[in-house]
Structure 1
Amino acid sequence: MKTYSTYWEPKEPIVRTKTIPGPKSTELKSQLSTVQSTGTIQFFADYEKSAGNYIFDVDGNALLDVYTQISSVPLGYNHPKLLNIFKDESNLKTMINRPALGVFPGKEWPEKLNSILMNIAPKGLNKITTMMCGSCSNENAFKSIFICF
């Protein structure tokens, strides 16, 4: 395994099964198909083992994930700095309670926006709108345009 300054990851892909999905993924897909549609499932991931740019499946294969969960994991799997954030109980409680920030923001929300996001906001922009994902970001952008005009 190759070591990086922030996390470890395999030095190359590891393929342990003759096919992907392997037998464990195939069995899990069969189990899941009794309660949910599984037509899009490629394999079952082992997120505890996944590291850096490599996603591990339940069969022990380590695959280079060039999409990193549709770019929602840009720092790689199990990045230690991100994992460390959840050692802070207030951050953990925020994630567990999933606040509706537009309706019931937590008492620390104004300070977090100012101390974290405003530091990286594009020059000249002094307002922030947070969104949960890319789809809702696009939807909100269109709503904002319609409200503006």
Structure 2
Amino acid sequence: MGASLGLIALSLLLATTERAVAVVQAPDSPVRLEKLKILSTDDAPPVLIYAATNLTDNELEQFTVTVFVFNREGRLKARQVAPGRRTLEARGTKYSAMVLDVGAIDATDTFMAGVDQAQRAGSEQWWRSDLRTLAEEAAKRSLSLKPVA
């Protein structure tokens, strides 16, 4: 039984591919995403794994992570929003994951992720940013840097 589980775990590990994710961040964002990776297998949706660091001296009650998927021409293909970890302590870091239910992903698609809103503990006010505009501008810039085939 133990050997069978080990073989299953090994086959899952070997079948998993890892993709890069660019961070898109507003200049005044209270949360920074780091160590982002997309893990995927042939028969399951991709999963974003990330570390979120509170850049402020205040505890954050909650924050929201947005993932953008761009096609090879730099056009937005999909977007997914999900709550990040609750209660991010002042200057603290937590790791989390997000299943991306965004449809078919092509090998030439690119990913960007960032925090688009956060709420300080004990406050009703939210910090917000328009990450979509920042992500689309970054996608256009990255296209201009790619060599022409």
Bigger radius of gyration = 1
Tell me the TM-score normalized by structure 2.
Answer: 0.23
Higher strand proportion: 2
Name which structure has the greater RCO, CA cutoff 8 Å, separation 6+: 2
Higher helix proportion: 1
